[in-house]
A and B are shown apart, each in its own frame.
Chain A
Amino acid sequence: MTAAPTVARSPASTRPATDGPIFDWLFVLGALGVIGIYIRAIYFTPIEATQGAAQKIYYLHVPAALAGYIAVSLTALMSIVYLWLHDERADRLAEAGAEVGLVFLTVVLTTGPLWGREIWGAWWAWWDMRLTLTLFLWFVVAAYLVVRGAVEDAAMRARFSAVLGILGALLIPFIHLSVYLFQARLHPMPIVLKPSEPSLPSEMLTTFLLAFVAFALLCAAFIRARYRVGVLRDRAAEVLA
Chain B
Amino acid sequence: MIAFVAGAQAAPVSSWGTYHVAYTLVAVIYCGYTLSLWTRARRFRRSIEQAGVSPRG
- B-side binding surface: helix, strand, loop or mixed? helix
Q: Kindly state the separation between the CA atoms of A103 and B22 in the bound complex, as whole angstroms.
A: 15
- Asked if A240 and B19 sit within 8 Å, CB to CB, the answer is no
Q: Kindly state the separation between the CA atoms of A229 and B47 in the bound complex, as whole angstroms.
A: 13
A64 and B11 in contact, given A191-B1, A236-B47 (Cβ under 8 angstroms): no
- Asked if A236 and B2 sit within 8 Å, CB to CB, the answer is no
- Asked if B26 and A121 sit within 8 Å, CB to CB, the answer is no
Q: Kindly state the separation between the CA atoms of A64 and B25 in the bound complex, as whole angstroms.
A: 13
A15 and B38 in contact, given A54-B18, A239-B48 (Cβ under 8 angstroms): no
A17 and B56 in contact, given A119-B3, A229-B41 (Cβ under 8 angstroms): yes
State whether the Cβ of A120 lies closer than 8 Å to any Cβ in chain B: yes
Question: Cβ of A213: which chain B residues have Cβ within 8 Å of it?
Answer: none
Which of B4, B8, B18, B53 has a CB less than 8 Å from the CB of A239?
B53
- Give the distance to chain A from B53, nearest Cβ to Cβ, in Å: 5
Question: Cβ of A199: which chain B residues have Cβ within 8 Å of it?
Answer: 1
- Chain B, residue nearest A113 (CB): B22
- Asked if B22 and A121 sit within 8 Å, CB to CB, the answer is no
- Asked if B57 and A12 sit within 8 Å, CB to CB, the answer is yes
197-230 of chain A: CB within 8 A of chain B: 199, 218, 222, 225-226, 228-229
- Asked if B55 and A110 sit within 8 Å, CB to CB, the answer is no
34-71 of chain A: CB within 8 A of chain B: 34, 38, 48-57, 60-61, 64
Q: Kindly state the separation between the CA atoms of A51 and B54 in the bound complex, as whole angstroms.
A: 56
- Give the distance to chain B from A43, nearest Cβ to Cβ, in Å: 13
Q: Mark B37-57, 1 if CB is under 8 A from A, else 0.
A: 110110011011001011111
A22 and B29 in contact, given A114-B21, A118-B12 (Cβ under 8 angstroms): no
Q: Give the interface of B toward A (CB within 8 A).
A: 1-5, 7-9, 11-16, 18-19, 21-23, 25-27, 29-30, 33-34, 37-38, 40-41, 44-45, 47-48, 51, 53-57
The 9 A-B residue pairs with the shortest CB-CB distance in the complex, in nearest-first order: A54-B15, A232-B44, A50-B3, A52-B15, A53-B19, A239-B51, A236-B47, A19-B55, A236-B44
Q: Give the interface of A toward B (CB within 8 A).
A: 12, 15, 17-19, 22-23, 34, 38, 48-57, 60-61, 64, 103, 106-107, 110-111, 114-115, 117-122, 186, 188, 191, 199, 218, 222, 225-226, 228-229, 232-233, 235-236, 238-240
Instruction: Return 30 A-B CB contacts under 8 Å, by A number.
Output: A18-B55, A22-B38, A38-B23, A48-B1, A50-B3, A51-B3, A51-B11, A51-B12, A52-B15, A55-B2, A57-B18, A64-B26, A103-B30, A107-B26, A111-B22, A111-B26, A114-B25, A121-B9, A222-B33, A225-B41, A228-B41, A229-B40, A232-B45, A232-B55, A235-B44, A235-B57, A236-B44, A236-B51, A238-B57, A240-B51
